[in-house]
Homo-oligomer: A and B are copies of this chain.
């Protein structure tokens, strides 16, 4: 194995720093409101060098959405726990990891979910791919097949439910702990699981 050069590592690190800054800035204000000039200034980088990393403002924005989506999926990955773990237990562990991410990265989470679905096909694709990945994880946890149309629709509903509660909580926690939120979501989810299994 050949180790990556020190320069390569520095480039990757700088790129990641710039994306984290983009998530933070675009998360708080609108796309139109942030100019490349302001972004370069806040990032302590010349406009010329910034364009070396990202050829346009849109490219920077799309890459930031991509990073937020990737982080969310990575940090919420839990393995099935072996044959002994029940499907609901796997879902519970995934939910705990998901809410931990929301708690620690509230701004990035809100940025991802409000990132401009539909008006930009590439951004919409990233957000939809993230939803599909969660729907597949949950569907696999419940043992649903591709052909189960009702199960598929309900699982999409659960992804929407978790997103909406998580976003409301990220934007205004109102003294509700992460553990309590997980309890509320799982209580509602458990009833839904019964519906899918005994329909």
Q: Which of B30, B124, B184 sits near A154, CB closer than 8 Å?
A: B184
Determine the distance from Cα of A94 to Cα of B26 in the docked complex, in whole angstroms. Answer: 36
Q: Which of B31, B121, B169, B188 sits near A119, CB closer than 8 Å?
A: B31
A118 at the interface (CB under 8 A from B): yes
Q: Which of B116, B119, B158, B167 sits near A161, CB closer than 8 Å?
A: B158
Give the chain B neighbours of A119 by CB distance below 8 A.
Answer: 30-31, 115-116, 119-120, 123
Determine the distance from Cα of A103 to Cα of B155 in the docked complex, in whole angstroms. Answer: 20
Give the chain B neighbours of A71 by CB distance below 8 A.
Answer: none
CB interface residues, A 1-60, toward B, < 8 Å: 30-32
Determine the distance from Cα of A17 to Cα of B181 in the docked complex, in whole angstroms. Answer: 45
CB pair B188–A174 under 8 Å, yes or no, is: no
Determine the distance from Cα of A161 to Cα of B188 in the docked complex, in whole angstroms. Answer: 11
Q: A131 to chain B: closest CB distance in Å?
A: 8
A92 at the interface (CB under 8 A from B): no
A interface secondary structure, majority: helix
CB interface residues, A 85-116, toward B, < 8 Å: 111, 113-116
Determine the distance from Cα of A192 to Cα of B184 in the docked complex, in whole angstroms. Answer: 9
Q: A130 to chain B: closest CB distance in Å?
A: 13
Apart from A30-B120, A160-B165, A188-B191, what are 10 other A-B pairs with CB-CB below 8 Å?
A116-B116, A150-B180, A153-B165, A154-B165, A156-B165, A156-B168, A157-B165, A160-B163, A184-B195, A187-B191
Q: Which of B175, B180, B188 sits near A157, CB closer than 8 Å?
A: B188
- Closest chain B residue to A114, Cβ basis: B118
A149 at the interface (CB under 8 A from B): yes
Give the chain B neighbours of A149 by CB distance below 8 A.
Answer: 174-176
Determine the distance from Cα of A140 to Cα of B199 in the docked complex, in whole angstroms. Answer: 30
Which 7 A/B pairs are nearest by Cβ-Cβ distance? A160-B164, A116-B119, A191-B191, A114-B118, A149-B174, A157-B165, A161-B161
In the complex, which of the residues A32, A164, A174, A175 has the most CB atoms of chain B within 10 Å of its own CB atom?
Answer: A164
